[in-house]
Amino acid sequence: MDCKDYDIHDFLEDRYFISWVTNPTRESNQFWDNFILQYPHKFKEFNQSKTIAKSFLPIEKILSAPAIEELWENIDKSIISRKKKRRLIYQIAAACTIIFVLSNSIFFLYKYGSNKEINYASIKANVSSSDEIKLILADSSEVKISQSESQSESELKYDANGKLEVNSQILDLTKNKNQKAFNQLVVPRGKRSSILFSDGSKLWLNSGSRAIYPVKFDLQKREIFIEGEAYLEVTHDVNRPFIVKTANVDVKVLGTIFNVCAYPDDKTTIVVLVKGSIKASVKNHKDQLISPNQMISYDQKFDKVDLRRVNISEYIAWKDGWILCNKEKLDKVCDKLSRYYNRKISFTDEKAKSLQLTGKLDLKENIEQVLHIISITAPVRMEIINNQIIISSN
């Protein structure tokens, strides 16, 4: 279907649209989500058409095929001629305007909020070096998230009322009346953490990363900032896109699963899509609509954007405690190990750095065991001097 030129009348004459309003499926959700991502200027007519169609719905949430047919006939019969149909449609649309003004600002929603961008660089707290995960609250107070020696991951859970559970400890954050304020979770090297947001979306944060997010998501959008690496499972909400901002790439979704890698000391920002669809935006480059099993990367040094199909397992395995290598250079693998275990790794020669690894490394083992496996499969020698790991070629 080519719906890019649809007006309200066209939407209401489209049986696939009416069927989606009455009995949405995963396939139809994805179709209309992609439509809005591609043609955001059509959101006003799209949402008004949905409201009009729903006004004809009976109380039952699930309709049978005959009931859907009857609904469509009721819409059609209620307006005798095309001219009268258009007049009634726009009368209903006008009556709905106040609802949209109160609940959704169309331009706000599809231009990342207001024209004023949030300055996340100024929000970032000057966090002192620590081996513990820290939650910096909107009032600048800090909550240290302690863990046992055997525990490297923590979990934060927000409920719908704003209460936060951190490793079974309950924090009441509802006293903060400034809904535009931000919290931030800072995860040091050697640790991992996750956040379950009040809307049901979940974020996994890798070692050496931080997430900045509002005390409460507003009515128009759900926006967070990521520095480092994060895996996200976003709850579907067609009326509130989920926006992930990084230093160089912005990602906009309605409901999907994807991974973002944007460490400040890496020259390349990488976004990999697992499920659903996302739109990636890089300043001065054309927006890219990404499909599952695709990766978009932005090379800041050369100002280059690349989109291609990949084996997504290689990019998301860290969440489950693995590193998957497919002819990956040893120095790149050791960068990941250094972050994951918070251990300094250095090389004595370029030959060792450029060795390529293929296989799987179990991050649930300690780093000495992981490096021992590497030394068995690659012609390198490992030494530990003053807690620093030194690698050289044989």
The verdict on residue 218 lying in a domain is yes
Question: Does one domain contain both 190 and 224?
Answer: yes
The verdict on residue 110 lying in a domain is no
* pLDDT given for residue 98 in this prediction: 38
* pLDDT given for residue 291 in this prediction: 92
* pLDDT given for residue 97 in this prediction: 42
Strands of 380-385's sheet in order across: 345-347, 388-393, 380-385
* pLDDT given for residue 187 in this prediction: 94
The verdict on residue 111 lying in a domain is no
The verdict on residue 3 lying in a domain is no
* pLDDT given for residue 340 in this prediction: 93
Q: What is the pLDDT along the chain (394 residues), one digit of tens a residue?
A: 578 888 888 888 888 888 888 888 888 888 888 888 888 888 888 888 887 877 666 544 444 555 555 655 665 555 444 545 555 555 555 554 433 333 333 333 333 334 467 888 888 877 777 788 999 988 888 888 866 555 567 889 988 777 888 876 777 665 555 556 889 999 999 999 999 999 999 999 999 999 999 988 888 899 999 999 999 999 999 889 999 999 999 999 988 999 999 999 899 999 999 999 999 999 999 999 999 999 999 999 999 999 999 999 999 999 999 999 999 999 999 999 999 999 999 999 999 999 999 999 999 889 999 998 998 888 999 999 888 999 999 8
The verdict on residue 158 lying in a domain is yes
Within 10 A of 107 (CB to CB), how many other CB atoms are there? 15
CA distance to 159, 198, 209, 225, per residue, from 164 (Å): 7, 9, 20, 19
Tokens of 193: 């953490």
φ/ψ (deg, to 5) at 89 = -60, -45
CATH number for the domain spanning 372: value is: 3.55.50.30
Question: Does one domain contain both 261 and 141?
Answer: yes
* pLDDT given for residue 100 in this prediction: 39
pTM over 0.95: no
CATH number for the domain spanning 241: value is: 2.60.120.1440
* The residue count for the chain: 394
Strand partners, 229: 261
* pLDDT given for residue 70 in this prediction: 60
Question: Does one domain contain both 44 and 174?
Answer: no
The verdict on residue 1 lying in a domain is no
* pLDDT given for residue 48 in this prediction: 83
Count how many domains the chain has: 3
Are 240 and 221 in contact by the 8 Å Cβ rule? The answer is yes
Query: How would you classify residue 200: left for phi > 0, otherwise alpha for psi between -120 and 50, otherwise beta?
Result: left
Question: Long-range contact list for 313-318, CB < 8 A, 24+ apart?
Answer: 315/259, 315/261, 315/270, 315/272, 316/231, 316/259, 316/272, 316/274, 317/360, 318/206, 318/229, 318/231, 318/363
Q: Which domain holds residue 334?
A: 321-393
Strand partners, 250: 245, 281
The Cα–Cα gap between 279 and 251 comes to: 6
Question: Does one domain contain both 73 and 133?
Answer: no
Sign, CA dihedral 54-59-60-65, equals negative
Residue finishing a domain among 277, 312, 347: 312
The Cα–Cα gap between 295 and 363 comes to: 24
Question: Does one domain contain both 90 and 143?
Answer: no
* pLDDT given for residue 180 in this prediction: 63
The Cα–Cα gap between 17 and 47 comes to: 11
Question: Does one domain contain both 138 and 219?
Answer: yes
Question: Does one domain contain both 40 and 154?
Answer: no
CA distance to 16, 51, 68, per residue, from 81 (Å): 22, 21, 21
* pLDDT given for residue 18 in this prediction: 87
Strand partners, 361: 323
Question: Does one domain contain both 170 and 308?
Answer: yes
Strand partners, 226: 211
Question: Does one domain contain both 234 and 335?
Answer: no
Question: Does one domain contain both 82 and 127?
Answer: no
Question: Does one domain contain both 40 and 59?
Answer: yes
The verdict on residue 2 lying in a domain is no
The Cα–Cα gap between 160 and 199 comes to: 7
Question: Does one domain contain both 355 and 372?
Answer: yes
Tokens of 187: 């995860």
